[in-house]
Copies of this chain bind each other. A is one copy, B any other.
Amino acid sequence: MPRSGQATRARIVAAASTLFYRDGIRAVSVDAVADKAGVTKRTLYYHFASKDDLIAAYLDARDQPNLALFRRWFEETGGGVAAKVRGIFRSLAASARHPKWRGCGFLRTSAELANMPGHPAIRIGAAHKKKFEHWMGAVFAAEGIAAPALLARQIVLLLDGSFAAVLLHRDAAYMEAAGDAAFVLITSALAGRVGQRRRGRRLDTTASNGVEVRGIR
Residues of A within 8 A of B (CB): 22-24, 26-27, 102-103, 106-108, 110-115, 117, 122, 125-126, 129-130, 150, 153-154, 156-165, 167-170, 174, 177-178, 180-181, 184-185, 188
User: Which single member of B26, B106, B180 contacts A27 (CB below 8 Å)?
Assistant: B26
Q: A110-B167, A126-B169 are in contact. List 11 more A-B contacts (CB 8 A).
A: A22-B115, A24-B112, A26-B27, A26-B112, A122-B168, A129-B169, A130-B169, A158-B158, A158-B181, A160-B164, A184-B184
Whether the Cβ atoms of A112 and B115 lie closer than 8 Å is no
Of chain B, the residue at the smallest CB distance from A113 is B24
Per CB-CB distance, the 9 closest pairs between chain A and chain B, nearest first, are A161-B161, A157-B161, A111-B111, A154-B181, A26-B26, A160-B161, A108-B111, A160-B164, A23-B115
Whether the Cβ atoms of B185 and A107 lie closer than 8 Å is no
Which one of A23, A111, A177, A188 has the greatest number of beta carbons of chain B within 10 Å? Answer: A111
Can you report 6 residue pairs joining A to B where beta carbons are below 8 Å apart? A111-B164, A114-B167, A129-B168, A153-B177, A161-B162, A181-B181
Q: How far is the CB of A100 from chain B (nearest CB, A)?
A: 11
CB neighbours of A110 from chain B (8 A): 164, 167-168
CB neighbours of A114 from chain B (8 A): 23-24, 102-103, 108, 167
Give A204 to B181 CA distance when docked, in angstroms: 28
Whether the Cβ atoms of B165 and A157 lie closer than 8 Å is yes
Whether the Cβ atoms of B169 and A162 lie closer than 8 Å is no
Whether the Cβ atoms of A111 and B167 lie closer than 8 Å is yes
Of chain B, the residue at the smallest CB distance from A157 is B161
Of chain B, the residue at the smallest CB distance from A23 is B115
CB neighbours of A167 from chain B (8 A): 110-111, 114
Q: How far is the CB of A158 from chain B (nearest CB, A)?
A: 6
CB neighbours of A129 from chain B (8 A): 165, 168-169
